[in-house]
């Protein structure tokens, strides 16, 4: 019997074996493991994602008057794509679930909101409408969907990373819009967010520390926003691979050293 | 044996932690204004004539902080050159809100361009916001160097029957409360996106166990979805396509919504400017500091200065200001006073050597004498007044010799 005639049977056998393996019931490891995993991992993932965000994009995420059209779209996508990327790799590799980014986005969203409400609003006294965090859920849905469709981390980093940055901006711009309305403050034209920054005392954050668009001779036809979005999207691709490094080298590789492969 | 010792140590540690956590924390009543090195506090910015119009306000009721700050000519080399500054308020968070701010008479929403020797008259209208007993200071930040605190005062904010509202009028004429402006938009969109995310996640994690997938995924290439084995099915693809389409619909819908709901928008503004020079009287005295000493035990500072009256009328020393403290002229020694010998009055055209003496425990209490610091130096502003009522504020600086170092 030649190899060409035996190959289909071999593939079918292997397929059947893997299908059986997928539906196998284990005596001690059942859905309780899933519940324990998804719940306990949520704390670690939320902390990792929120801390990474605050580390790279802290003030841009804290204050509406920092959420500008130049720096915010550049810094934030990079900061918030890192951990979703790592989780995406882990969950895709282990379970073939396109859920890593959305799972991280939800965990981080809950953690961020608890932090803003408990620390910044109740304890610090800032109105929540001044200190709301970005939402990355829609962008994470895109990222997971691109991975599901392409099954490629390279394509996901390129297509997903670019789309991630764009969707992140559009979604959060909708929430930011009321704070970009013009106000007359002592006869000067300012935005609502500027007035929030002036009126709500941040003693150790002088205005000159606010890193937002100041204008530049290199600004192209005033289209700062689109240049920033493009650059932010490129940075998001870099951030995606930083996350991949974390997922591959700091999470999966050490585990593989100690757990026997199937 | 060892285990018992470890257990006892752990129990003791746990008890200690519990006690520390249970004890009420002493409220922090100040902002570390004495923490910075004294020669830097004295040699950088001097505040004078700082006044608070009220010490008790109800929520929404206003008070004004006004005063003058001077960036001294003695600004030290080791700090960044003062080019960009910001005058604001420091308090335990937004317990008050700043409703207006003028510097040298001009509205100042943001940082200002500053320079050595610059004098800045500031006035800020605050409104009480959070009920409580709060320590409030003016603050002058210098980009690259840090912030210096002005004289602080406690402000009591009492409850108003209606609570606190912070109304502003938009350019379109609508009046909004800054405390909750846009809260509906924020809440609705946050809920929508959490719902979308939950739909996506629950679709996968509720019906699909993780453990049974690992033995399969470990045997197939990474760039496959395992459709042949049932890992990801066509139904899964279809469901996710629907969620993705819904997401994109919501993204586009959101942009259309905001364009209609908030049609007039603009980017954040950075309205920085160089304030007009403060109106100051013409110079009629010059000063040449000779030396200074500090008697640690009595808390007395002696500052010797050669003063020349270049004006046409007699001039008199009125006060000495350093950092946030002002010592007013008085005949007898006491806290907050300065004695001038042989006489505070300088005849026109004359140069006299004066000794300014200040006995006050505040030097020690405020950590304002740099005994044991890396630069034992005193800096301040001498205020003089001539017969016509004109005033000069002259910066003097001298090394200071303490009676003992320890």
CB contact under 8 A, B230 and A210: no
Q: Secondary structure of B25-81 in the HEC alphabet?
A: CCCCCCCCCCCCCHHHHHHHEEEEEEEECCCEEEECCEEEEEEEEEECCCCCCCCCC
**Closest chain A C-alpha to B360 CA, distance in angstroms:** 30
Listed by number, the residues of chain B in 91-110 with a beta carbon closer than 8 Å to a beta carbon of chain A are 91, 93-102, 107, 109-110
Give every CB contact of residue B233 below 8 A, 6+ residues apart in sequence: B227
CA trace torsion B268, B274, B280, B285 (10° rounding): 130
Q: Are residues B309 and B366 in the same domain?
A: yes
**Closest chain B C-alpha to A25 CA, distance in angstroms:** 8
Listed by number, the residues of chain B in 36-75 with a beta carbon closer than 8 Å to a beta carbon of chain A are none
Q: Are residues B53 and B162 in the same domain?
A: yes
Structural domains counted in chain B = 3
Measured between alpha carbons, how far is B189 from B30 in angstroms, rounded to an integer? 40
Q: What is the DSSP string of A175-216?
A: HHGGGGSEEEETTEEEEHHHHHHHHB--TT--GGG-------
Any domain includes B139:
yes
Any domain includes B280:
no
pLDDT for the residue A4: 43
- The pair of three-digit structure tokens given for residue B296, joined into one six-digit string: 């640690």
Q: Are residues B121 and B146 in the same domain?
A: yes
| Interface check B237 vs A, CB under 8 A | yes
Domain spans in chain A, listed from the N-terminal domain onward: 31-212+220-258
Q: Are residues B123 and B207 in the same domain?
A: no
CB contact under 8 A, A184 and B169: yes
Any domain includes B149:
yes
Residue A186's closest chain B neighbor by CA?
B107
Preceding omega of B343 cis (within 30 degrees of 0): no
Helix (H, G, I), strand (E, B) or coil at B325: strand
In this structure, what DSSP letter does residue B262 have? S
CATH code, domain with B75: 2.60.120.570
Give every CB contact of residue A14 below 8 A, 6+ residues apart in sequence: none
pLDDT for the residue A2: 39
Domain boundary among B122, B141, B171: B171
Are B254 and A170 in contact by the 8 Å Cβ rule? The answer is yes
pLDDT for the residue A6: 46
pLDDT for the residue A224: 83
Structural domain that includes position B49 = 38-171
pLDDT for the residue B406: 65
A-B C-beta contacts closer than 8 Å: 307
CATH code of the region A31-212+220-258? 1.20.1450.10
Measured between alpha carbons, how far is B120 from B276 in angstroms, rounded to an integer? 9
Q: A100-109 pLDDT, tens per residue?
A: 999 999 999 9
ipTM of the complex: 0.92
CATH code, domain with B345: 2.60.40.1580
Are B136 and B91 in contact by the 8 Å Cβ rule? The answer is yes
| Interface check B144 vs A, CB under 8 A | no
Measured between alpha carbons, how far is A118 from A124 in angstroms, rounded to an integer? 8
Any domain includes B395:
yes
Helix (H, G, I), strand (E, B) or coil at B273: strand
Are B403 and B295 in contact by the 8 Å Cβ rule? The answer is yes
Pairing of strands B337-341, B325-329: parallel
Listed by number, the residues of chain A in 61-80 with a beta carbon closer than 8 Å to a beta carbon of chain B are 65, 68-69
Q: Are residues B165 and B95 in the same domain?
A: yes
Q: Are residues B202 and B232 in the same domain?
A: yes
Kindly list the residues from chain B whose CB atom is less than 8 angstroms away from the CB atom of residue A102: 197, 200-201
Q: Are residues B206 and B122 in the same domain?
A: no
Any domain includes B29:
no
Any domain includes B13:
no
CB contact under 8 A, B85 and A29: no
Helix (H, G, I), strand (E, B) or coil at B278: coil
In this structure, what DSSP letter does residue A91 have? H
Domain boundary among B107, B137, B171: B171
Q: Which helix (H) or strand (E) holds B144?
A: none
Task: Tell me the whole-structure pTM to 2 decimals.
Answer: 0.88
- Which residues, listed in sequence order, are joined to residue B186 by a DSSP beta bridge? none
Any domain includes B302:
yes
In this structure, what DSSP letter does residue B312 have? S
Measured between alpha carbons, how far is A125 from B96 in angstroms, rounded to an integer? 10
Any domain includes B14:
no
CB contact under 8 A, A201 and B88: yes
Residues of chain A with pLDDT under 70: 1-11, 28, 257-262
CB contact under 8 A, B190 and A167: no
Are B39 and B376 in contact by the 8 Å Cβ rule? The answer is yes
pLDDT for the residue A5: 46
Q: Are residues B347 and B373 in the same domain?
A: yes
Instruction: Mark A183-207 as b/e (b = at least 16 C-beta within 10 Å).
Output: bebeeeebbbbbbbbbbbbbbebbb
Residues of chain B with pLDDT under 50: none
Q: Are residues B42 and B159 in the same domain?
A: yes
| Interface check B146 vs A, CB under 8 A | no
pLDDT for the residue A259: 62
Instruction: Mark B195-210 as b/e (b = at least 16 C-beta within 10 Å).
Output: ebbebbbebbbeebbb
Measured between alpha carbons, how far is A74 from A52 in angstroms, rounded to an integer? 15
Could you tell me which of B236, B213, B389, B371 has the C-alpha nearest to residue B318? Answer: B389
Helix (H, G, I), strand (E, B) or coil at B155: strand
Q: Are residues B90 and B206 in the same domain?
A: no
| Interface check B135 vs A, CB under 8 A | no
Listed by number, the residues of chain B in 214-233 with a beta carbon closer than 8 Å to a beta carbon of chain A are 214-220, 222-226, 228-232
Count of CA atoms in the C-beta half-sphere (13 A) of A205: 18
């Amino acid at each position: 019997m030649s190899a060409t005639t035996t190959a289909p049977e071999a593939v079918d056998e292997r397929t059947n074996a893997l299908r059986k393996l997928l539906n196998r019931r284990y005596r001690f490891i059942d859905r309780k493991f899933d519940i324990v995993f998804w719940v306990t991992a949520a704390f670690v993932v939320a902390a990792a994602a929120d801390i990474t965000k605050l580390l790279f994009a802290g003030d841009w995420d804290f204050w509406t008057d920092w959420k500008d059209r130049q720096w915010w779209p550049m810094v934030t996508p990079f900061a918030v794509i890192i951990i979703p990327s790592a989780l995406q790799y882990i969950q895709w590799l282990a379970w073939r679930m396109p859920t890593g980014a959305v799972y991280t986005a939800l965990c981080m969203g809950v953690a961020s909101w608890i932090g803003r409400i408990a620390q910044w609003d109740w304890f610090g006294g800032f109105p929540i409408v001044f200190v709301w965090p970005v939402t990355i859920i829609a962008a994470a849905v895109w990222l997971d969907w691109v991975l599901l469709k392409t099954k490629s981390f390279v394509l996901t980093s390129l297509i997903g990373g670019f789309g991630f940055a764009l969707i992140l901006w559009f979604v959060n711009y909708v929430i930011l819009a009321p704070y970009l309305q013009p106000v007359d403050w002592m006869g000067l034209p300012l935005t609502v967010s500027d007035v929030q920054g002036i009126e709500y005392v941040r003693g150790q954050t002088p205005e000159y520390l606010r890193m937002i668009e100041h204008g530049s001779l290199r600004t192209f036809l005033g289209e700062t926003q689109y240049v920033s979005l493009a650059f932010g999207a490129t940075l998001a691709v870099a951030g995606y691979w930083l996350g991949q490094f974390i997922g591959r080298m700091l999470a999966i590789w050490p585990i593989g050293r100690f757990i026997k492969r199937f | 044996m060892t285990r018992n010792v470890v257990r006892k140590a752990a129990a003791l540690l746990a008890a200690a932690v519990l006690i520390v956590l249970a004890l009420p924390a002493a409220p922090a009543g100040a902002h570390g204004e004495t923490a910075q090195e004294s020669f830097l506090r004295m040699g950088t910015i001097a505040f004078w004539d700082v006044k608070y119009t009220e010490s008790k306000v109800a929520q929404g009721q206003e008070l004004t902080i006004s005063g003058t700050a001077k960036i001294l000519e003695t600004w030290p080399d080791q700090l960044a050159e003062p080019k960009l500054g910001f005058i604001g308020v420091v308090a335990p968070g937004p317990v008050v809100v700043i409703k207006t701010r003028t510097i040298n008479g001009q509205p100042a929403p943001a940082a200002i361009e500053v320079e050595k020797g610059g004098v800045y008259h500031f006035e800020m209208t605050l409104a009480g916001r959070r009920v409580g007993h709060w320590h409030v200071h003016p603050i002058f930040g210098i980009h690259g160097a840090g912030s210096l605190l002005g004289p602080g005062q406690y402000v009591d904010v009492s409850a108003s029957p209606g609570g606190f509202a912070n109304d502003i009028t938009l350019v379109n004429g609508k009046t909004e409360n800054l405390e909750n402006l846009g809260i509906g938009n924020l809440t609705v969109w946050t809920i929508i996106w959490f719902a979308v995310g939950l739909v996506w996640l629950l679709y996968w994690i509720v019906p699909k166990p993780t453990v049974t997938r690992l033995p399969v995924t470990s045997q197939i290439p990474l760039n496959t979805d395992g459709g042949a084995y049932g890992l990801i099915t066509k139904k899964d693809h279809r469901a996710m396509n629907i969620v993705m389409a819904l997401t994109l619909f919501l993204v586009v819908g959101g942009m259309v919504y905001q364009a209609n709901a908030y049609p007039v928008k603009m980017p954040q503004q950075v309205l920085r400017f160089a304030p007009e020079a403060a109106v100051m009287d013409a110079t009629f005295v010059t000063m040449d500091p000779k030396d200074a000493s500090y008697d640690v035990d009595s808390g007395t500072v002696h500052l010797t200065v050669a003063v020349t009256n270049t004006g046409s009328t007699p001039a008199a020393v009125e006060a000495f200001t350093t950092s946030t403290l002002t010592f007013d002229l008085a005949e007898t020694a006491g806290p907050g006073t300065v004695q001038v010998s042989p006489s505070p009055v300088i005849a026109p055209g004359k140069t006299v050597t004066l000794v300014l003496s200040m006995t006050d425990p505040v030097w020690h209490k405020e950590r304002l004498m740099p005994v044991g610091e890396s630069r034992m130096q005193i800096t301040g502003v001498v205020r003089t007044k001539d017969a016509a009522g004109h005033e000069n504020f002259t910066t003097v600086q001298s090394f200071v010799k303490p009676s003992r170092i320890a």
